[in-house]
C-alpha cells in the first residue's frame, strides 16, 4: 500500500532541519573568516555573512529547531571570531606572544554589538514564529473539535432515526394489509 499523497494534499514546507541551519551559520562564518584572514582584519563580509545567515536560518528552520538554532548563533560567532583573530595573528607574526592573545580575543569584544543585534533579531523572529505557530495550531484544534462535534450530532440523529427489527417487521405487516 502506497502512502504517497497527491500534490494537493502534501504538507506545506515545514522548514530546513536544525542541523542544516546550524551548518549554514557555521559555513557563513567560515567563509567570512577566510575573507577576513585574507584581508588581514575582521571586515564587513564576515559580519554581513553572519547576520544574513543568522536571520535567514531563524526564519527558515523547522519550528522544533528554533531554540537550538538561536542558541548556537552566539556560540558559533565567538568560536569563529576567535579563530579568525588567531588566523590573522598567525599570518602577521611567526610566533604568538601573550600580547597576541589579547589581539585574538579583542574582536569578540569589539564586535559584540553586531553579535547582540543579530542574536536579538533571530530571537525576535523565533518568538514571532513560535507565537504564530501556537495560534495556527489552536485554530486547527478548534476546527477539529467542531468537526468531531458535528459528526457526533449527526451520529446521534442517525441512531435516533434507526428502526429496530421489530419496528421494521411491524411496518411491513402494516403496509401489507
Q: What is d(CA 158, CA 166) in angstroms, rounded to the nearest whole number? A: 18
3-state secondary structure of 16: strand
Total residues found in the chain within this entry:
177
What pLDDT does residue 172 have? 83
Enter the C-alpha cell of residue 76.
Answer: 558559533
pTM equals 0.74
E strand or H helix that includes residue 23: helix 18-39
What pLDDT does residue 3 have? 59
Q: How confident is the model at residue 148 (pLDDT cuts 50, 70, 90)?
A: very high
Q: How confident is the model at residue 17 (pLDDT cuts 50, 70, 90)?
A: very high
What pLDDT does residue 168 have? 78
The predicted-structure confidence for 58-100, as pLDDT tens digits, reads as follows: 999 999 999 999 999 999 999 999 999 888 888 777 667 777 7
Enter the C-alpha cell of residue 61.
Answer: 528552520
3-state secondary structure of 145: helix
Give the C-alpha distances (Å, rounded to integers) separating 140 from 132, 134, 137, 154. Answer: 12, 10, 5, 21
More confident residue, 131 or 1: 131
| pLDDT surpasses 80 at 13 | no
Q: What is d(CA 90, CA 98) in angstroms, rounded to the nearest whole number? A: 13
Enter the C-alpha cell of residue 125.
Answer: 523572529
What pLDDT does residue 135 have? 93
Amino acid at each position: 500500500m502506497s502512502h504517497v499523497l497527491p500534490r494537493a494534499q502534501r504538507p506545506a514546507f515545514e522548514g530546513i532541519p536544525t542541523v542544516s541551519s546550524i551548518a549554514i551559520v557555521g559555513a557563513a562564518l567560515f567563509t567570512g573568516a577566510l575573507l577576513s584572514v585574507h584581508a588581514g582584519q575582521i571586515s564587513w563580509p564576515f559580519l554581513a555573512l553572519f547576520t544574513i545567515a543568522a536571520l535567514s536560518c531563524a526564519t527558515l528552520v523547522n519550528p522544533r529547531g528554533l531554540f537550538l538554532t538561536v542558541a548556537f548563533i552566539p556560540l558559533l560567532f565567538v568560536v569563529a571570531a576567535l579563530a579568525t583573530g588567531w588566523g590573522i595573528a598567525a599570518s602577521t607574526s611567526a610566533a604568538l606572544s601573550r600580547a597576541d592573545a589579547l589581539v585574538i580575543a579583542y574582536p569578540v569584544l569589539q564586535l559584540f554589538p553586531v553579535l547582540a543585534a543579530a542574536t536579538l533579531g533571530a530571537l525576535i523572529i523565533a518568538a514571532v514564529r513560535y507565537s504564530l505557530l501556537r495560534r495556527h495550531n489552536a485554530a486547527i484544534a478548534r476546527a477539529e473539535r467542531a468537526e468531531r462535534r458535528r459528526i457526533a450530532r449527526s451520529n446521534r440523529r442517525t441512531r435516533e432515526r434507526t428502526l429496530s427489527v421489530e419496528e421494521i417487521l411491524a411496518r411491513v405487516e402494516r403496509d401489507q394489509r
